[in-house]
Chain A
Amino acid sequence: MAADSYDDVAKNKDSIPELEVAPQDLYHAKSFWTKYIFCQDAKVIGIQYALTAAAIGMVGLVSSWLMRMQIAFPGVIPMDPAAYYQLVTMHGMIMVVYLLTALFLGGFGNYLIPLMVGARDMVFPYVNMISFWVFFLAVVILAASYFVPGGPTGAGWTLYPPQAITSGTPGGDGLGIVLMLVSLAVFVIGFTMGGLNYVITILQARTRGMTLMRLPLTVWGIFTATVLALFAFPALFVAGIMMTLDNMLGTSFFMPAIVEFGERLSYDGGSPILFQHLFWFFGHPEVYIVALPAFGIVSDLISVHARKNIFGYRMMVWAIVIIGALSFVVWAHHMYVAGMNPWFGFFFATTTLIIAIPTAIKVYNWVLTLWRGNIKLTIPMLFSIAFIITFVNGGLTGLFLGNVAVDVPLSDTYFVVAHFHMVMGIAPVLVILGSIYHWFPLITGRFLNEKLGRIHFWVTFIGSYSIYFPMHYLGFMGVTRRYFEVFEGDNFTYSITGINQFITVAALITGAAQFVFFYNIITSSKFGKKAGKNPWKACSLEWQTADVPPTHGNFGKELPVVYRWAYDYSVPGADQDYITQDTPPSDVANARAEQT
């Protein structure tokens, strides 16, 4: 792509394409039900997704508290091994799928995509509405599994057969595992409806002048993640269906001949490793389904609050796309010691370490965006800085686990738990929190309370780092994960009781800080300081709506026309330190912008 100067653009009026289709009127809701419940406005759907995800996420958070209590202070909250494993399982599944995936794609995707690409709504608003309600149904089914005899499944979030559907696992011989599998299948159906919407809206409904290479990186991140999800979730879907058949109809897709507690089960000839391949063919892209939107969003937060263009935009876009593509050929690095053919290790270790290169480029470019910037240490910026540290830490420990020979001693220890919580738990959550502080003024027209926000930031960042950093060292020592009783093993070089208590206390405090955040959201949406239009002085289109908060239809009578990329901050010669995307070159005649 040639980097035309704005002079050329200004001279050549044809560079702003004509309207391809006449503007179409939206469906305007009249009743309360169609306005707020079965709503077709993507912004409302986004908020519905976010609130539902946060509600079930709270179950996930409290589960982690209870788990940590059992690990550090056994007996304080009485529980048996079955209850502990149910907590572990539900915590993992809720956080990965029902919170992070739903929040990034369903929540942020719905709210931001139409606004950022300059569209009035998603291209299929009705399907979009159905998508949310199917997701809601999936959450209800998941929640229902708490109330069936035997309780929810305790198979671990990876649901590995044979144990997931045998009697030695909680929920394995009851309805727990069935409801989990059905809920996942329903989730995938709902997601597919939403996901097609996001992809087609980004490809087809961009406003005039919004070329792909002018999209904010937030949109690139969500777009690529959605494409990954559309390819990856079917693997989970079929795996779920096949396991349901094994469980209900006695087929043997994943079940070999086994003897459980002296009794020969009727299965024969299935392969447990086949399930693992299907699961991780979904599960690894899933990591990037969560990470790529975070990458995109944090790029925008850093750029806006450092008053500087994102460094190396084109490299950033390509890095997102390459990471997305590579994420489909690294799945078996979760299976180095799973008993698959050991020669696979060479291939998957190589692909896995290659993925470190585009990922490292992204980190360099975030830091280089801060370099020679004019950094405002707002709360979104603080969370972005915390994200970079956390993500670099979690990314680098991925170089341990990805390198197959190093994975052998560390696999299935607390090192793995620490690694993935850093890289795909805490890091994306820090971005989510930062972006809520960033976009709250757009969504509600008010700022979140600054003081509470800063307390929330410091406790969350230092707390979560204190939880997971020391945990790596337990892994080196050989402390295995998923142990109901964390015991003092003979081989341990030092007692783990004290450090486990420290981690649990840190987890309780960090979790409690999130309730301060919820309180802040509730009170500030009513009584927060009024924000006005474009309070952060951002360039991208979502801040250029006629009304704040934007109403149904997003923009005023006319859709905006885009003349530049989303990162014209501190352009030499310009009067202000930002030029919005819809500012025509003639309005900023003296500005010497380079990139379009």
Chain B
Amino acid sequence: MIVALLVILVTIGSVIFHMWSPWWWSEIASNWQGMDDTILLTFWITGAVFVAIGLFMAYCIWKYKYNKNNKADYEPENSKLEWALTILTTIGVIALLAPGLIVWNNFVTVPKGAYEIEVVGQQWYWMYRLPGKDGVLGTTDIKNINDDNPFGLNTDDPHSIDDVLIDADDLHLLKDQVVKLNLRALDVLHDFYVPQFRAKMDMVPGMITYYWFTPIKTGTFEILCAEYCGTGHYSMLGYVIVDEEEDYNEWLSEQMTFEEVLASNGKSDLIKLALNKKNDL
């Protein structure tokens, strides 16, 4: 009796905890509503299975408690029942998988014309790069990295010179602008994760990974590094600030381009080289 009650208590208690839990996701601030919806759908289906199995088991424990005058049923197999359960489970799995794959298909298909931004992770801070006036991010090489060129931009790439470099933990985005984040790590794995945007992807040294989203709300959102990256992992934080156009432009005008960074470091010879290339284009 007590054991049957325990099973009921754990089953129902889990459901009650779920309904009353104050720990829940914060309001979504991107276009990935589909992820939330799939989670909720999964909750309904798996929750029903959990409750059904828990309560049925409690019933069995209560109803078929040992009695030396009773004898258990002898039924090694019941293929009808076994097949029925198998088919029912398969239907449940399809109901979960299909919407999940549709959302994933959206996630991996970057819309044309998405604004490309580079996010760079290193132990234990973030840097960002915007494509500048020409709308194209210049190419990079890890061999170019030095104090004057923290992003490792190729100075002979004509697209490099107008790139906007943000050597700080905070990034501003324009509300309702589709962005594709090109993710790069200089040392070890990192992961650029803003809980309200739902999306995340590891950043892997030696390659460029990406994901896209559209910020749909203005506000300040915390960035967390979501892939373990050494002793400072827990302190690798920052902010994404989603602005309306006016605020965004004001922020943008305060940032330095690669050209300005080089000039301020007295490396104008490099600028000349790059500008020549640009004129050749």
Contacts and interface: CB of A to CB of B under 8 A. Distances in A.
Nearest to B122: A259
Interface stretch (A11-19, A219-227, A477-485, A549-557): A477-485
A405 interface: yes
Nearest to A155: B228
Interface stretch (A125-133, A309-317, A323-331, A443-451): A309-317
Interface in A341-384: 342-343, 345-346, 349-350, 353-354, 356-357, 360-361, 363-365, 367-368, 370-377, 382
Contacts of B81: 368
B168 interface: no
Contact of B101 (A162, A349, A399, A487): A349
Given A259-B186, A403-B100, A484-B234, A396 B72 contact: no
Specify the main secondary structure of chain B where it touches its partner: mixed
Contacts of B11: 389
B86 A406 contact: no
Contacts of A376: 66
A258 B186 contact: yes
B115 interface: no
Interface residues of A, number: 118
B53 A363 contact: yes
B64 A356 contact: no
Contacts of B10: 389, 465
A461 to B, nearest CB: 8
A470 B204 CA distance: 32
Contacts of A411: 200, 226
B77 A312 contact: yes
Of the four ranges (under 10, 10 to 19, 20 to 34, 35 or more), the interface on chain B belongs to 35 or more
Contact of B60 (A370, A382, A594): A370
A169 B230 contact: yes
A187 B175 CA distance: 54
Interface stretch (A32-40, A433-441, A488-496): A488-496
A392 B49 CA distance: 9
A349 B100 contact: yes
Interface stretch (A174-182, A199-207, A241-249, A264-272): A264-272
A470 B23 contact: yes
Nearest to A471: B23
B187 interface: yes
B35 A409 contact: yes
B232 A81 contact: yes
B5 interface: no
Given A373-B60, A465-B10, A392 B53 contact: yes
B227 A406 contact: no
Interface in A381-395: 382, 385, 388-389, 392-393
Interface stretch (B130-138, B159-167, B191-199, B273-281): B191-199
Contacts of B31: none
Interface stretch (A54-62, A278-286, A288-296, A564-572): A564-572
Contact of B23 (A338, A357, A496): A496
Contacts of B21: 470, 473
A110 interface: no
A409 B166 CA distance: 26
Contacts of B82: 312, 315, 361, 364-365
Interface of B: 3, 7, 10-11, 14, 17-18, 21-26, 32, 34-36, 38-39, 42, 45-46, 49-50, 53-54, 56-57, 60-61, 64-67, 70-78, 81-82, 85-86, 89-90, 93, 96-97, 100-105, 107-108, 122-124, 142-143, 145, 147, 152, 183, 186-189, 191, 193, 195-196, 198-207, 209, 220-222, 224-235
Given A349-B104, A399-B93, A476-B24, 18 more contacts: A168-B230, A169-B188, A264-B142, A273-B204, A308-B72, A315-B82, A349-B97, A360-B49, A364-B85, A370-B61, A374-B67, A393-B50, A403-B96, A405-B103, A478-B25, A491-B222, A494-B24, A570-B72
Interface of A: 3, 80-82, 85, 154-156, 160, 162-163, 166, 168-170, 172, 256-262, 264, 269-273, 306-309, 311-315, 337-339, 342-343, 345-346, 349-350, 353-354, 356-357, 360-361, 363-365, 367-368, 370-377, 382, 385, 388-389, 392-393, 396-397, 399-400, 403-406, 408-413, 465, 469-470, 473-474, 476-478, 480, 482-485, 487, 489-494, 496, 499, 567, 569-572, 577, 592-595
26 contacts: A257-B205, A259-B145, A259-B186, A260-B123, A261-B123, A269-B206, A314-B77, A339-B202, A343-B108, A356-B93, A360-B89, A375-B65, A399-B42, A400-B46, A403-B38, A406-B42, A413-B226, A469-B17, A478-B26, A480-B193, A480-B225, A485-B235, A489-B222, A490-B222, A493-B22, A569-B72
Top 8 closest pairs, chain A to chain B, by CB: A256-B206, A478-B195, A168-B230, A405-B103, A494-B22, A403-B100, A308-B72, A163-B188
